[in-house]
Chains A and B, each alone.
Chain A
Amino acid sequence: MAGGTVADPVLDESGLHLTEVPPVVPPSPHEADLPPPSPPPRKEPFVSNARLGMLMFLAFEAMFFGGLLGAFLVFRLAAVHWPPPGQPYLPGVVTWINTGILLSSGVTMRRALRAIRDGNQSGLMNGLGVTALLGAIFLAVQGGEWVRLVRYGLTLTSGTYGSTFYTLIGCHGVHVLGAVVWLLVILLQSARYRFTARDHVGVQLCGMYWTFVVGLWPVLFGLVYLY
């Protein structure tokens, strides 16, 4: 069996002894498109396995946030007063600035990716480091604002306003936190020169995830803070 190409036992069992790819015959009623005379060589996939898998994971994440956002919108659209009487407004100016910080981290992540594509190791490390730092600043500012809000009396138990705010923004925060940790792991690996211009799947995947958490933020910011 080893080395058997076309003369595999399979063919023998069926009673057909074919050593070569057989000639093509007129179309049968069963299948309109003709079998190709010789099989097309296996093509390089359009999107690599790793990136396709990551895209799928992000689709899952998007639907997860979709569920939470759906819940938020149900309450938001039905509300006459939002925030409900007696509940605080969400911090505006600080969050605008914080949004800027997070969005710029998206840019530095792109920079890091472009750097490693050119084989620029220090550019990669710088990019990753700055991205992680910006992410951490974003989290710290968010945390600070949360403390202020809780002091003001807005908690998970303050009706749907508090429930949706902390759940949605909290879930996003946890994702950013996870992404920062991942960035640090990648940073550590890049400090050991794990990545090359040709092979840097780890950076790519992390970049995709980072783009997702950054890209999700304006949606949340717009709906939860501004709307």
Chain B
Amino acid sequence: MAESAVAVGTGQAVHVHHEELGFWRTYVFSTDHKMIGRQFLFLGLFMMILGGLLALMIRWQLAWPETQIPGLRWVPEPFMYDGAMGPEFYNAVFTMHATIMIFFVVMPILVGCFGNFLIPLMIGARDMAFPVLNMLSFWVGAVSGVIMLAGFFVPGGHAAGGWTAYAPLTAVTQYTGVNWGQNIWCISLILLGISSLMGSINYITTIINMRAPGMTFFRLPLVIWSLFIVAILLLLALPVLTSALAMLLFDRMLGTSFFLPAGGGEPLLWQHLFWFFGHPEVYVLILPAMGVASEVLSVFARKPIFGYRAMAYSMIAIAFLSWIVWGHHMFQSGMNPALATSFMVSTMVIAVPSAIKTFNWLGTLWGGSIRFTTPMLHGLAFVSMFVIGGLSGIFMASTPVDIFIHDTYFIVAHIHYVVFGGSVFGIFAAIAYWFPKLFGRMMNETLGKIHFWLTFLAFNGTFFPMHILGVGGHMRRIYNPMQYEFLQPLQPVNVFITVSALVLGIVQIPFVINFFWSLFAGKKAERNPWQANTLEWTAPSPPPHGNWGDTLPVVYGGPYEYSPPGVSEDYLPQTQSRVPHLAAAH
């Protein structure tokens, strides 16, 4: 897949910089940040299909428990029994659905692909600071993905303790019967941490040291700000997960007792370490999408982003606060109520910068001349769905309410409003917006809009009713809701959700068609098809090796000068100084 993408890429690149690197160096072991970005994109999209299929299997089981899933009769035991899922496999499936979606879809696409592709292009650099490290980052990530998938095929099945891998469930083989699956899960994520470390080092160094002349920090596009902050969060949060994973592996394989009460260990320690990483991690998933939304909203409302500095500062505030809220995942772990209250307060406080951002997006839209392109629609969906997810977050953040809804489908609804409604709509917006720069061709708008509207409807049909299930007491991660008498009246909701989810899966087909069709046959993109200001649009589409010809761009202004006074156009690229009326006339 990756090769075809690149074939498009070189077509236009040749006449600027004629460099023959050969097939392997150009497409496979490339050190060009754009190629590495594309590689991450394809990795993420491939994994998204897998993760999506797993989700549909979960949904089928919940709507029509223990019935045959159409088309899956060929799957052998012990995975499926004549097409019906067994409980052990069900556990592995929901564990892997979340693991894949979080670590191998949203992170590779938002951070891996767009981080790599956009950072040098938007700050005016020719490449990342450490191109070879960058290549290694992708390949270590890809290997870790392969290892993760291999876990399905080991005896005992794949990890089945949830993506949060709570000990001691995950620390002792006897509890779940999963042996190598859990080990592989740990090893794969340790490797992914190393891949991410290499990425973070590159992103931070590049942004600090390699900005074009005139590109001050407060002229950086917000998406670069978000990626910068994400890189710092990942750099400092992932090692904590790595240490926890190492301890879990040692407990499993070497007989230590970090998380095992029998040897004096402490299961809650896992939760603390995991969520100390985990909460910054959820912001890793959402911040780049926030950045993407800021770009897209401003460009298509033809207005400067409302409160640029407030946007940057609120992201910084989120980054700081995200270190002190992890306990909100552990309210029901029996923690000291005074501690729970402080976590509740800090969590409510982190909602403030999130709200600032939301109001600023609304302020950006206010009075704009909005162009409802596909990326804009996804951007608008991002804002509105993030509001719903953020609000349900506030419910759960208040300890008395959380007693009732913790570990129910309310949480599942929240997760999906922020991660699908937020991050994935952000991904769709980003792909639609930067596709011309990534591949030199435009995506089809009609197909894009069809895909958007159907996805938007099916998404809400799938995830909104989960709030109802949750308030009704429907636990998450259960194999068969029909086993509980009090859940039986809610079963029609489960069926409705599953039907919506199936629709949601099917309506991704237009996206896939659009993606691949546009890759080969889309309209050729000009340099700046959206009349945007940021630097990537001053490079050819797609940019050649080295991004710009002989001279690098020089920056004179901020990234959001849309409809500026005194300029005949309704935008002012960052490479141009603000000019009076006269200078613009020709």
Contacts and interface: CB of A to CB of B under 8 A. Distances in A.
B398 interface: no
B555 interface: yes
B254 interface: yes
Contacts of A167: 246-247, 250, 256, 258
B201 A57 contact: yes
A52 B205 contact: yes
Given A9-B527, A163-B256, A75 B264 contact: yes
Interface string A9-20: 111011111100
Nearest to B535: A10
Interface in A97-154: none
B239 A13 contact: no
Contacts of A60: 197, 200, 235-236, 238-239
Interface in A45-100: 45, 47-49, 52-53, 56-57, 59-68, 70-71, 74-75, 78, 84
Contacts of A41: 213
Nearest to A49: B129
A59 B264 CA distance: 31
B336 interface: no
A12 B97 CA distance: 49
Contact of A35 (B129, B256, B276, B578): B578
A222 interface: no
Given A31-B561, A39-B213, A71-B269, A25 B566 contact: yes
Contacts of A159: 257, 263-264
Contact of B263 (A23, A49, A70, A157): A157
B257 A53 contact: no
Interface string B198-221: 001110110011101110001000
B580 interface: yes
B258 to A, nearest CB: 6
Interface residues of B, number: 75
A47 B208 CA distance: 9
Interface string A23-42: 11100111101011001111
B260 to A, nearest CB: 9
Contacts, number: 204
A31 B583 contact: no
Most chain B CB within a 10 A radius of its CB, from A31, A40, A57, A159 = A31
Interface in B142-192: none
Contacts of B254: 156-157
B130 interface: yes
A47 B242 CA distance: 28
A10 B554 contact: no
Contacts of A68: 243, 246-247
A8 interface: yes
A68 B241 CA distance: 10
Contact of B214 (A4, A9, A29, A36): A36
Nearest to B263: A159
Contacts of A63: 235-237, 239-240
A204 interface: no
Nearest to A40: B213
Given A15-B586, A30-B561, A64-B240, A4 B551 contact: yes
Given A3-B550, A75-B266, A10 B238 contact: no
B568 A28 contact: no
Given A53-B130, A64-B243, 7 more contacts: A15-B569, A30-B561, A33-B218, A49-B209, A53-B129, A66-B243, A163-B256
18 contacts: A2-B549, A11-B575, A16-B569, A22-B576, A30-B564, A33-B218, A35-B578, A39-B555, A40-B214, A45-B208, A65-B243, A66-B240, A67-B242, A67-B273, A67-B276, A68-B243, A156-B256, A162-B256
Interface of A: 1-5, 8-11, 13-18, 21-25, 28-31, 33, 35-36, 39-42, 45, 47-49, 52-53, 56-57, 59-68, 70-71, 74-75, 78, 84, 156-157, 159-164, 166-167
